[in-house]
Amino acid sequence: MEIVLPSLRERREDIPILINEFIKESNLRMKKQIQGVTNESMRALMLYDWPGNIRQLKSAIENAMVFSVDRYLTLEDFTPELHSHKSQPVPDRLSDALKAYEQAHILNVLERSGGDKEEAAVRLGIHRATLYRRIAEFGDEFEEA
């Protein structure tokens, strides 16, 4: 029997959960009290491709915790390679932040699907018509992402 696990870049929605778990584990081991990561850091961590998958993410969190002096890991706590994934600040309003994430996620899945909207809809777990409606709602904003 073969078990196929998608890479971390194909299941970015797991990244925040993994980050929180790695912080909890490292807090116990390092005797620290890191509460989490800043929005800017989370965005960069979500956008990074993680060629080393979960091990690389875990190592990045542990290394950042060693250098952190704050309660939250900032982008400066991480290696410079993550700094290139710094982007627009996350909006304060939850609805705006969710819309921005949804747009970026749909675009990412479309790119990984080679532009095939039917395949992208399957990967997203939504109906194809829903995907077309979301793309239309994003309009010009979608092209800018």
Q: What is the pLDDT of residues 64-114, one digit of tens each?
A: 999 898 899 998 999 888 876 655 555 667 777 778 778 878 887 888 888
Q: Which domains are seen in the chain, by residue range?
A: 8-83 (1.10.8.60), 94-144 (1.10.10)
What's the helix, strand, coil split of the chain in %, to 5? 65, 5, 30
Regarding pTM above 0.85, the answer is no
Name the residue with tokens 């710094």. 86
Angle at 8 between CA 51 and CA 122, to 5 degrees: 130
At residue 19 the predicted structure's pLDDT band, cuts being 50, 70 and 90, is very high
Length of the chain: 145
- DSSP secondary-structure letter at 70? S
Contact 105, 12 (CB under 8 A): yes
pLDDT digits (tens, 9 = 90+) for 2-17: 887 788 888 888 899 9
Average pLDDT, the chain: 85
